[in-house]
Structure 1
Amino acid sequence: MKRKTFLRSAAAVASVAAVVALSACGGADSPDAGGDGGGGGDTISIGFSQVGAESGWRAANTKSIQDTLTEENGFKLSFSDAQQKQENQIQAIRSYIAQGQDVIAFSPVVETGWDAVLQEAQAAGIPVILTDRAVDTEDDSLYESFIGSDFVLEGERAGNWVAENFDGESMKLVELQGTTGSAPAIDRKEGFAAAIDGTDIELVDSQTGDFTRAGGKQVMEGFLNSHNDIDIVFAHNDDMGLGAIEAIEAAGLTPGEDVKIVTIDAVKDGMQALADGKINYIVECNPMLGEDLAEIAKKVVAGEEVEKRIVVEDAEFDQQQAAEALPDRLY
């Protein structure tokens, strides 16, 4: 996958360190998040705090990181699952600081409330790398780099497709938002709203489904009970869109026909639903960030300059394109 501002290097660093990876059951509140910090020789010790395991996208993202940050690639990985709780991530980061990790990386549950713990990492001389989601801070020296997608642009792309196909038809639209306060939820909503502004597409309701399939189904059931003649669903990720499909079918309606569905992510389950005609359009959000994270970690440990913002170049898919892409889909 191409990057707009960063080209991967093929270099690898030899290592004989053991890989340490906590399971989701260990959680970020485990007293020993794995690893003893300060890997010897050329080994880079890195502590990574993941948001959780809320979606197929997140599972693919975790796999990419764990499959890349291995001893063969020169890393000693300590992994923790925050289970969608900011306090768990903060505790994990402080644990990594205490362990003296060479690098700390994490995907923030929400945008705000990170300055204090990031200042602690900075004071300890440990560089921080953000993956997938950014933080809202006035001091961008608190982290070395952000690696991920342009969430505003993703929302705009989804909104542009809706506007191009349904403006002029007085359509009623509902929105399934991601986790409240998270960067993708905030940005995708903003981008989508800007794209449909000035059209006669009416947003009649918008609620969070927490990026989960179960949440998407539950909220969509509520939408269907509260509103007549819903024409379009915009889901901030595939999993919520898949949950919406279940609710729509249970109501005796046909997803993709009676109710159009637009989502973001392009994981296999979502792409299959698109190929089957149950989803109408998907904007990709590439979860395969492991190689970029490995390369940036090596550079910051070596004292090299890195790009402050590394943006993933994502695709878009209609039904035919999804069917063509599915056989070779990695996630």
Structure 2
Amino acid sequence: MTIRIRVLANATVALIAGAAVLAGCTRSESEGTPAPAGSEGQQVVASSTPGGAGCTLQQYGAAKLDLADAVVGFSQSEKEANPFRIAETQSIRDEAAKIGVKKLLVTNAQSQLSKQISDIQDMLAQGAQFLIVAPLNSDGLEPALQAAAAKKVPVLTIDRKINAAPCKDYLAFLGSNFVEQGRRAADAMIKVTGGTGRVAILLGSSGNNVTTDRTNGFVEQVKAKAPGLQIVAQQTGEFARDKGQAVMEQLISSNPDITAVYAENDEMALGAVTALRSAGKSPGKDVKIVSIDGTRNAVQAIVDGTINAVIESNPRFGPLAFKTAQDFYAGTAIGENVIISDREYGSTNARESLAGAY
């Protein structure tokens, strides 16, 4: 495997590259708007030569396929009420149209695991020959995966990992390095707080690797680099704005001396902003806020001074998902983890980067 790294910032480059390799990443590409220059525009891109370690068409047992003459299915997991899901689905639609996919089937599980399973089974019944799945949870999709395996239909999972065997139960995972996102959020928090304070964590939903990894990355980095930052509370806000606001209200009541909030997505961060204001506090000043996602509303909040930093979780999976599928059918070995690049927003680049946020 050969790895090419392009660095747009000095911070934690070796750490990121190492994490990508350890995670089993054998092929990754950047897509979308390039990261802004400067320390808050860090981006790492790694790629491998064809024929390296990974899953091949022959190993998977699938038939060769021309996507321009194929039926492709996309299973969205959650209600498209937040910008990440809207951008994710639109990116899949746009790229399918761009490369001329014969037919794209799109379903939405409405945050119901049983519906996602039946959605996938229905798409298979409609002749889907390749599946892109945004899993609701890391566990529970076994009936759908078994149905796809029975028909030798490859399944590419995006944005959340599943607890299953790559190149057997599914082809590969395409998404961010969530542990690294947590580490970068910790670095941003250390920067905006000066490395001291009392931090509350608004956790994402339970049952998926995104929450676990973003939490572990943040906590480990804070412990290693900023012992003056004390994590005083961790409570789930389910990745939702209203729940983030409600949890923040509770945390302010039980921990009135909180000086910083790490929200594991932007929606919860925006809910926290509302809660802090209602409590008479000044978000972004009295209480520093760092979050993950990169939605336009959150980047605007940086411009407005109510959020201090945001680590992007890139939802623009379409180009990389279909490129991965094309490479797979062309004979390239696909690594277990295909890592997409994520930008970072802070006070020095938020205004100029606002148009590129989703």
Determine if the alignment matches structure 1 residue 185 to structure 2 residue 211: yes
The structure 2 residue matched to 1:239, chosen from 245, 261, 267, is 267
On the 8 A contact 1:271/1:322 being kept in 2, the answer is: yes
For residues 1-331 of structure 1, what are the structure 2 equivalents within 5 Å? 2=30, 4-6=45-47, 42-52=68-78, 53-70=80-97, 73-138=100-165, 140-166=167-193, 169=196, 171-198=197-224, 199-301=227-329, 304-326=332-354, 328-331=355-358
What is the Cα deviation at residue 306 of structure 1? 2.8
Instruction: Describe the SS at the equivalent of 2:239.
Output: coil
Alignment CA distance shift 1:79-1:41 (3 Å): closer
CA distance in 2, matches of 1:167, 1:257: 13
* RMSD of equivalent CA atoms: 2.3
Structure 1, unaligned runs of 5 or more: 8-38
The CA deviation at 1:302 is 5.1
Normalising to structure 2: TM-score of the pair?
0.77
Secondary structure of 1:197's aligned partner:
helix
- Partner SS, residue 189 of structure 2: helix
Give 1:301 deviation, angstroms.
Answer: 4.6
Q: Counterpart amino acid of 1:248?
A: L
Q: What letter is aligned with 1:103?
A: F
Matched letter for residue 273 of structure 2: I
Does structure 2 conserve the Cα–Cα contact (< 8 Å) formed by 1:6 and 1:310?
Answer: no
C-alpha change, 1:166 and 1:225, in structure 2 (3 Å) is same
Summarize the Cα distance change of 1:168–1:102 in structure 2 as closer, same or farther, 3 Å threshold: closer
Letter in 2 for 1:95: D
Q: Deviations over 1:153-190 (max 9, x none)?
A: 00011112223454663x11111111111221111011
CA offset digits 1:101-129 (Å, max 9, x no partner): 11111111111223343132112110101
Report the TM-score, using the length of structure 1 for normalisation. Answer: 0.83
How many angstroms does 1:248 deviate by? 0.7
| CA spacing shift, 1:281–1:230, aligned 2, 3 Å | same
Query: Percent identity, aligned pairs only?
Result: 33
Preserved CA contact (<8 Å) 2:193 2:288: no
CA distance in 2, matches of 1:330, 1:160: 21
Aligned residues: 298
* Cα 1:154–1:160 shift into 2, 3 Å: same
Higher relative contact order (CA 8 A, sep 6+): 2
